[in-house]
Structure 1
Amino acid sequence: MQGEQGRLPAGFLCGLAAVPGVGRIVGCIICSMKQYQTIEQTIGGTPLVRLQRIPGQFGQERGNVILAKLEGNNPAGSVKDRAANSMISRAEQRGEIKPGDTLIEATSGNTGIALAMVAAVRGYEMILIMPDNLSLERRAAMTAYGAQLILTPANQGGMEYARDLATSMQAEGKGKVLDQFANPDNTQAHIDTTGPELWRQTDGGITHFVSAMGTTGTIMGVGSYLRSQNPAIQVVGAQPAEGASIPGIRKWPEAYQPKIYHPEQVDAFEYIGQHEAEEMARRLAAEEGIFAGISSAGALVAALRVASRVQNATIAFIICDRGDRYLSTGVFN
């Protein structure tokens, strides 16, 4: 009486039991359980919302619409949930790792939090290496998921130092580095999910895609997919202006350039100052009700600059994470 893979056929027990005065029981535990998702299955499918107030003269007057993809709605709170799930699950499928193994990653925060979540679900030990000048909320989130956190002195090289330490730990046999900076599974996550979502949500009408640039997995993957649907779509990257220190927006030294990054696939760059990104983060919350991180606000600054130059455009940008990850920095005070 069992169906494929040893399970009872759907509906086999439904209605078999009867209660006097009530009649048949219309459902069963087995059938109901099939309808529930795991936490991993809730990654993606994030909303795309129209900004109403901030675009001002660069919006409706010019026929432009500016859309925000709310990646903070992912279960671990950022766009990096997609990449983390992709890197771990695909490596597992290839037989490169198995539950119980130790994984290592250098991170500025969001990737580490996402990896810690997926590692917890799939049964891996997670070691995360992060510069010590990043927010307390990020540290707490990583350890809440059970990850071991190693803090490195920011004044000794920041993320570059953290990446070198991760590589040396792998060489010493302490675990496997997933390496978000060189791992094609990072980019593939956005080719498979984020890009198609944006295309569907705009009914193929998107004309410009804007993203902060850190590991560059998001901008590479989304840009690649969107261009496969319409080569005329413009891809715009937000990078830090001279002297700016914005978590999630980086311009890497040549020796540390992410291997997944292909600069020819980005049509234009907008250089974002720290003060304007922080001010825009406050405006996003106060004027649009979107509580977002600083790199997300930097991407919006870039999107507004694009909107000031074009007409009748549909401009989508990525809200990378939520603002509550930055409360201890004082930026929202």
Structure 2
Amino acid sequence: MKKYLTIEDTIGATPLVRLQRIPGEFGERRGNVILAKLEGNNPAGSVKDRAASSMIRQAEARGDIKPGDTLIEATSGNTGIALAMTAAVRGYKMILIMPDNLSVERRASMTAYGAQLILTRADQGGMEYARDLALKMQAEGKGKVLDQFANDDNPLAHVQGTGPEIWEQTDGRVTHFVSAMGTTGTIMGVASYLHSKNPAVRIVGAQPAEGSQIPGIRKWPEEYQPKIYRPEKVDEFELISQAEAEHMARRLAAEEGIFGGISSAGALVAAMRVAARAENATIVFIVCDRGDRYLSTGVFN
């Protein structure tokens, strides 16, 4: 009997596409190519599908969890949606904790997959408060926290998947990898793999400029710094303003036909800065989710 794929089996193997117009004078004239890794093509719509599947599968393999158990996670959106999908596929109950200032599309996606959603007041401390509440619920026996911020199975997904894909899709020509920094799982895992193939590849992290609120891009207080984060793996940091990210998101859709989220555009802002000072570079950036997840925010109006 023919074996067919499940929806979870379609995670990964996402396209890598060349930008044609936005690079302008910093593109072909300087010998540079800017490539977008389209992670919104994953089944639940983001790069976090990879980490969610990895964290649940690896925990199962260790015997830490089994189908029917309740899982808990604090999330700003994409990880929660990805976990809700993976939990639905693999037979878990899912409780997600999210600040109430994040887009309604993300909330609706989580509950569509059957997850229970707990909204916390953003003025109570945002994601930091949500993370504390998740651990408190675990201590009270209400479920198991996967903890994307401290779980090595998060970056492992990118050591095993995203990194090798980028290397193969560029035939080993990649010179710079650019990613938004949130939980840091993507940038840590891809950096580990690419550096194992070529230590000269430059890893560039996009972080929010002072006062900017960009979904998916964070600079954590010291006490909440993700335990999976290794600062020595990032060669350069680019501070991105909210206005720059939002403007670039509109350009990315209108000029390149790539409908990406705000953090994806922030990564492109950083990639363009790299291109402005580089020559003969192959620059890959992560389009971590789709823009339709942000329509209610008015960014694309």
| TM category, shorter | over 0.9
Alignment correspondent of 1:15: none
Q: Which residue of 2 aligns with 1:42?
A: 10
Q: Give, in whole Å, the separation in 2 of the partners of 1:201 and 1:281.
A: 24
* Larger Cα-atom Rg: 1
Confirm whether residue 238 of structure 1 aligns to residue 206 of structure 2.
yes
Q: Distance in 2 between matches of 1:133 and 1:190?
A: 29
Shift of 1:178: 0.1
Aligned-residue offset at 1:231: 0.4
RMSD: 0.4
Measure, in 2, the Cα distance between the counterparts of 1:290 and 1:261: 29
Taking CA–CA contacts closer than 8 Å with sequence separation of 6 or more, which of the two structures ends up with the larger relative contact order?
2
C-alpha distance in 2, partners of 1:197/1:300? 19
Residue among 243, 265, 277 paired with 1:309: 277
Query: Shift in Å at residue 80 of structure 1?
Result: 0.1
What is the distance in 2 between the residues matched to 1:44 and 1:123? 21
* 1:110 partnered with 2:75: no
| 2:44 is equivalent to residue 76 of structure 1 | yes
State yes or no: 1:263 paired with 2:231: yes
**Deviation at residue 286 of structure 1 after TM alignment:** 0.2
One of 109, 129, 146 as aligned partner of 1:161: 129
Structure 1 equivalent of residue 109 of structure 2: 141
Query: Cα offset for 1:170?
Result: 0.2
Q: Which amino acid aligns with 2:41?
A: N
2:298 is equivalent to residue 330 of structure 1: yes
Q: CA deviation at 1:115?
A: 0.1
User: Are residues 1:194 and 2:154 paired?
Assistant: no
Matched, 1:55 2:26: no
Equivalent residue letter for 1:94: R
Q: How far is the alpha carbon of 1:116 from its aligned partner?
A: 0.1
Offset at 1:262? 0.6
The Cα offsets for residues 112-158 of structure 1, whole Å up to 9 and x where unpaired, read as 00000000000000000000000000000000000000000001100
Q: How far does residue 190 in structure 1 lie from its aligned partner after superposition? A: 0.2
Q: Deviations over 1:196-247 (max 9, x none)?
A: 0000000000000000000000000001100000000000000000000000
Cα distance in 2 between the residues matched to 1:69 and 1:297: 12
Distance 1:313 1:241 in 2: 26
> For 2:277, what is the secondary structure of its paired residue?
coil
In structure 1, distance between residues paired with 2:199 and 2:231: 16
Match of 2:242 in 1: 274
Kindly tell me the number of residue pairs found equivalent between the two proteins. Answer: 301
1:7 aligned partner: none
1:122 and 1:91 mapped to 2: Cα distance?
A: 12
Ranges in structure 2 where 5+ consecutive residues have no aligned partner: none
The runs of at least 4 consecutive aligned structure 1 residues that moved more than 4 Å come to none
Query: What SS class does the counterpart of residue 308 from structure 1 fall into?
Result: helix
Secondary structure of 1:222's match?
helix
* Residue from 87, 90, 93 that aligns with 2:55: 87
- Percent identity reads 82
Aligned to 1:286: 254
Residue 249 in structure 1 maps to residue 217 in structure 2:
yes
Q: Deviations over 1:28-64 (max 9, x none)?
A: xx2xx32x21111100000000000000000011000
Cα offsets for 1:245-280 (capped at 9, x unmatched): 000000000000000001111000000000010000
